[in-house]
């Protein structure tokens, strides 16, 4: 059975208060977006206190080309990813030579070779390493990455998989996109990079963890006729956000039957889940989770904490939630990781957590 060993998240150098972000957005959107004054209330209603940014707000005062912003994305992604993997190795006792596979998840910048190639070069990872760059899953990418790591580690008991999620959402901001979607996205998204190590059951721990986090099962679901719900429109200026107001409704309608089906094939029910490692999306999505699954809101306290302190970091966010669970301690028993993203699709991973 594959296991999650450790997680390392990145605290970006710039912590921007939501009140500062609102003031910045007001200067951009007021008079340009219909009913902007009313829409600005989304900043207060987001239940976000501050955001994680890789660059200062002043960065956005000047219009930069897609090429300039993407160049910054690649440099910062490599730097933060290398640091996160090093931290995971230090915590786990493994060395860079032990890594057999690397999965790189992102949707906020592009590069060929993909960023994992640069990461491998900087860390001098094994020349025979297996590479799996994944682009375009958006917020669903983190849980999808765990699912992919499970497949790899289950097929090779001696595998040590490094999973990296890097989302520098702020670098996709378009100063001249005066759409409602861009205003809402500006109230929500931020930057995050995280690394996770997953091992096969034939590989012995170098250090002893207090908990055993087994990856028991995984499932993906895609919903027909919903490709326009979330994603990017690729323009000459860069990546223009597509963000439907229907996302919370879709979550509420689709999530419960999908999770129940997933749990049923493992002879479980929602009541059997002790740990909800959930990508927050936004506060409306969190509320939809609670209503749909009929769970105590306190089950999502770690999710709400990450949203409040960091904002939505796309695929990386769920790793910050996972890190929060590891730091605070799981409840022994089953856990479920969930996220939704462009497609429109959902990703689910079943965990079995036991104290050692």
Q: Which residues pair with 135 in a beta bridge?
A: 106
Query: What number is the average pLDDT over the span 20-33?
Result: 85
Q: For position 353, what pLDDT does the model report?
A: 92
Query: What number is the average pLDDT over the span 112-141?
Result: 96
Query: What number is the average pLDDT over the span 150-165?
Result: 96
- Mark out the alpha helices in the chain (DSSP H runs): 18-29, 36-39, 42-45, 66-92, 115-123, 141-155, 180-186, 247-264, 283-293, 301-310, 317-328
Distance of alpha carbon 221 from alpha carbon 238, whole angstroms:
29
Q: For position 99, what pLDDT does the model report?
A: 97
Q: Which CATH architecture has domain 3-199?
A: 3-Layer(aba) Sandwich (3.40)
Query: What number is the average pLDDT over the span 293-298?
Result: 89
CA R_g for the chain:
20
The DSSP call for residue 300 is G
Phi, psi of 174 (to 5 degrees): -110, 115
Query: Tokens standing for 254?
Result: 């689709």
pLDDT band (50, 70, 90) for residue 221: very high
Phi, psi of 49 (to 5 degrees): -90, -40
Closest CA to 253 of 293, 222, 224: 293
Distance of alpha carbon 156 from alpha carbon 178, whole angstroms:
49
Q: Check pLDDT > 80 for residue 356.
A: no
Measured at the alpha carbon of residue 216, what is the angle toward residues 212 and 219, in degrees to the nearest 5? Answer: 140
The more confident residue out of 283 and 128 is: 128
Q: Check pLDDT > 70 for residue 193.
A: yes
User: What is the C-alpha end-to-end distance of the chain, expressed in Å?
Assistant: 16
Q: For position 70, what pLDDT does the model report?
A: 96
Q: Check pLDDT > 90 for residue 159.
A: yes
Please list the active-site residues.
139
Please state, as a whole number, how many other Cβ atoms lie within 10 Å of the Cβ of residue 23: 13
Query: What number is the average pLDDT over the span 298-326?
Result: 95
Could you tell me how far CA 153 lies from the centroid of its own chain?
Answer: 21
Query: What number is the average pLDDT over the span 46-50?
Result: 92
Q: Which CATH architecture has domain 211-355?
A: 3-Layer(aba) Sandwich (3.40)
Distance of alpha carbon 321 from alpha carbon 325, whole angstroms:
6
Measured at the alpha carbon of residue 179, what is the angle toward residues 310 and 282, in degrees to the nearest 5? Answer: 30
Query: What number is the average pLDDT over the span 56-69?
Result: 91
> What pTM does this model have?
0.94
Half-sphere exposure of 11 (CA within 13 A, CB side): 4
Q: For position 331, what pLDDT does the model report?
A: 86
Q: For position 28, what pLDDT does the model report?
A: 83
Q: Domain ranges in the chain?
A: 3-199, 211-355
Strand, coil or helix: 326: helix
Query: What number is the average pLDDT over the span 271-294?
Result: 89
Q: For position 289, what pLDDT does the model report?
A: 87
Could you tell me how far CA 278 lies from the centroid of its own chain?
Answer: 10
Q: 38: which residues sit within 8 A by CB, 6+ positions away?
A: none
């Amino acid at each position: 059975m594959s296991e999650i060993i450790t997680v390392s998240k990145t605290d970006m150098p710039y912590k921007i208060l939501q009140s500062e972000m609102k003031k910045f957005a007001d200067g951009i959107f007021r008079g340009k977006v219909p009913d902007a004054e009313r829409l600005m209330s989304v900043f207060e209603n987001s239940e976000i206190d501050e955001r994680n940014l890789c660059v200062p707000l002043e960065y956005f005062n000047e219009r930069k080309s897609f090429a300039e912003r993407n160049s910054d994305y690649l440099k910062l992604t490599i730097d933060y990813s290398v640091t996160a993997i090093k931290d995971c190795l230090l915590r786990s006792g493994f060395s860079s030579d032990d890594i057999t596979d690397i999965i790189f998840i992102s949707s906020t910048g592009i590069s060929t070779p993909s960023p994992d190639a640069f990461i491998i070069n900087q860390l001098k990872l094994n020349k025979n390493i297996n590479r799996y760059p994944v682009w375009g899953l958006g917020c669903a990418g983190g849980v999808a990455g765990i699912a992919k790591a499970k497949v790899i580690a289950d097929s090779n008991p001696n595998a040590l998989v490094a999973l990296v999620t890097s989302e520098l959402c702020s670098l996709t901001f378009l100063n001249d996109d005066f759409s409602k979607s861009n205003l809402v996205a500006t109230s929500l998204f931020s930057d995050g990079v995280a690394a996770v190590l997953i091992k096969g059951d034939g590989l012995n721990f170098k250090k002893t963890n207090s908990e055993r986090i087994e990856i028991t099962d995984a499932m993906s679901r895609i919903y027909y006729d919903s490709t326009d719900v979330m994603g990017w429109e690729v323009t000459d200026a860069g990546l223009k956000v597509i963000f439907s107001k229907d996302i919370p409704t879709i979550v509420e309608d689709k999530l419960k039957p999908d999770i129940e089906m997933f749990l049923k094939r493992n002879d479980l029910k929602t009541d059997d889940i002790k740990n909800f490692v959930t990508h927050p999306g936004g506060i409306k999505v969190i509320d939809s989770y609670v209503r749909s699954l009929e769970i105590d809101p306190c089950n999502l306290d770690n999710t709400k904490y990450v949203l409040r302190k960091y904002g939505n970091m796309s695929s990386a966010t769920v790793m910050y939630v996972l890190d929060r669970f590891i730091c605070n301690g799981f409840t022994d028993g089953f856990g479920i990781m969930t996220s939704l993203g462009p497609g429109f699709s959902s990703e689910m991973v079943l965990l079995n957590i036991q104290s050692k």
